[in-house]
Structure 1
Amino acid sequence: MAATQRDYQAMGRGYIKAAGGVFTLLAVTALLCGCVTSDEQKLAELIAKQMKELGTPAPVSNGYNMPESPSPSLRATRNRGKVTIQPESILHITVEEDPTLSSSYEVNQSSAIQFKYIGLVFLPSMTVEQAAVVIENTLRDRGFRTATVTVKITKASYDTVRVTGAVMEPSNLKIGPGSSVQLGEVLRRAGGLRTQAKGARIKIVREGMLSPIGIAGDGEEFVLLNGNGKPEVPLVAVANNDWIHVFGGSEEGQGAGEKSIYVLGEVGKPGVVTFAANEACTMLHLMFKLGGLPKWADDRNVMLVRRDDGGKEETTKVNVETLLKSGNPEDDVKLENGDRVIVRERRLIF
C-alpha cells in the first residue's frame, strides 16, 4: 500500500458517496468565544472535507441560505422497505486488502462507525450495498489502491417515524426494521389526537427526518374526515424516517384559529410550534416558547419566510437579539399561520 498506518490514523479527507444517492452531512461543531477543543476541530475538518468532496453544494433558495427540499418522489423511493443501517445497528465489515479492519462495529447515534485507524465513517440510513461503496471510496481516498468491502447487518436496529403536533404524546416511534406501519397505528401509539384536533389535517413528509428542513418540506396532506364528514383515518402507510405532523382542527370550537409556525436551523428543537387561537403569536412569544436561542445562533439575522396567496415567498430579516433586550411590543413582529422562522449559525471570524 502507498500509505502507512500513521497516515491512516490522521483524520483526513473522505467521501460519503453511495449508489442511488449522495448523503450530505451537517454538523455544528464550533463554540463562540473561540473555545473549541482539538477533537471538535478534527471532527469539523473531517466533515467539512467530506462535504467538499461531494462537489456541487446544495442549491440555495430565496436568499436565506437553506437548501431546497429534495423531490418528494426521491424521498419516497430511496431504500423504502429495505433494512438499513440505523443507530445501534451492529455491522460486520470485511476488507480483503487489510484483515485488521475486518471486524464488528456498532453504529453510534450519529449513524457513524469508528472504523479503527481510518476514523469516522458515516452511514446514515444506508443499505449494506451502499455502505460498502462508501467504505471502499473512503479506503481508496486513504491510499488503498484497491478496496474490496463486504458489509452485513448482524443486528438490525429499529426504524423510526416522528409524530408531532396535536397528538397526546409527540415522539419518535420505533417500528420494525425495513417495515411500514399504518397511519392509524402511529396515531394510536402517539396517544391519540388532542380533543381540538378532531377533523384535523395531517401532513406526511416522506423521509422528512433526513431533510434539513424537516416537516417544512413538500409532503402529502390528509383530512381526518371521510366524504360524509365523519371522523376517519385514511389508509396510509408510513415507513422509516417519515415525519407525521397533526395540525389542529379548523372547525368551530377549541381548535379553531390555531397557528402553526415552522422553526428551522440553529434552535434547540427544530419543528412546528403551535399557538392557540387565544395566544399572542409574535416573534417575541415564539422565542419565549423556544426558551431563547443557543449561543451559536445568529440572533441578529433571523429569517422570517412568508408565502402569500399566490405562492410567492417573501423573506424578512429580524434582529431577535435587540428584540429580546428591549422587549418593546412596538418592535415585535406578528407571525401568521404557516410562517417559517429560520435561524442560521453565527459566522465565526478569527
Structure 2
Amino acid sequence: MVQVTVFDTPELSAKLRVNADRTVELPVAGSTVVSGMTPQEAADAIAKHLKDAQIMIDPRVTVTIADYATQQISVLGEVKNPGNYLLLGPHSLYNALSAAGGTTEKAGSDIVIAHLVDPQQPETIHMDSPNYSQLQRLTNVTAGDVIYVSRAGSVYVLGDVGRPGEFSMAAGRRLTVLEAIVLAQGTNSDAALSRAAIIRKTDDGTRIIPVDLKRMAEKAEGDQVLTAEDIVVVPRSRGRAFIDATLPALTASAAGSAIAAMILLVNR
C-alpha cells in the first residue's frame, strides 16, 4: 500500500494498493507501473505519467509506503529453526537463513530454492563453493519462495576400529577411506588390514570394493574418495568375532543388503 500525494491537487492524491500486475490505479490518470521501484522512482514515474497524459504540466509527486504486503518465506531442512518467516522489503538468501537461525552441523552441500514465480525450475546454491558467502548475499528471495537446506550424507566405518559408527559429510565435505578410519579412531592391533573393503550401494545392487589399508597407509596404493552411504569394513583376523562386533553397530541407514554383503566378505 502506497500513499501518493500530488502537491496542491488532492483529487489526484490517494492511498493505493500495488496490484498483482505491478501497477497502481491513479485517480483519473489510470494505471502506471511502480512495483520494484524506490519511493522516489515511483514518484518520478507517476509524475511522468501525469505529464504524458496531459493531466498536469509540472506535477510534484511524493510517494511513501503505507504498508507492506505479507512476504512469507519458508525455510526448511537443516536449519536451526525451520518454519515460515515474514521478511519485509527486498531480501537475500543470507537474510532468510539468518532468520531461521542459520544452518545446523548436519547441513549438506546444497541449498535448493523453489521460487514462487517458477517452481519447476529450482535454483541450487552449493555451500562448498569458494564464493559461498558472496552467493548468499547476491541470491534474491521473494514472497512465496521455499528454501530447503539439504542434509549431509554419511559414511560408516565398521569392524575392528577404535570407534565404529556413522560419520557426517557436512557442508559437502569429502571423506577418503583413510580419513574415515582416522575419524573412527584408527584400526585395532588385530585388524586384517589387507582384507578391508568398501560396501557401496548402486543402481545395479551392492558392490564390494576390496581395500588394502596397509598399502594405502604406506602410499603404495592410492587413497579412495568415499560417496554418501558407503560402508568401510575393517575385518578382524578372526571372522566370527568380527561379525559379532560389527552387526550391532550397523545403523538403520546402512542396513539391508549390506549385511549380507559383509557376511560374505568376512567369510571369503
Greater strand share, structure number: 2
Q: Which has the larger radius of gyration?
A: 2
- Give the alignment's TM-score, normalised by structure 1: 0.31
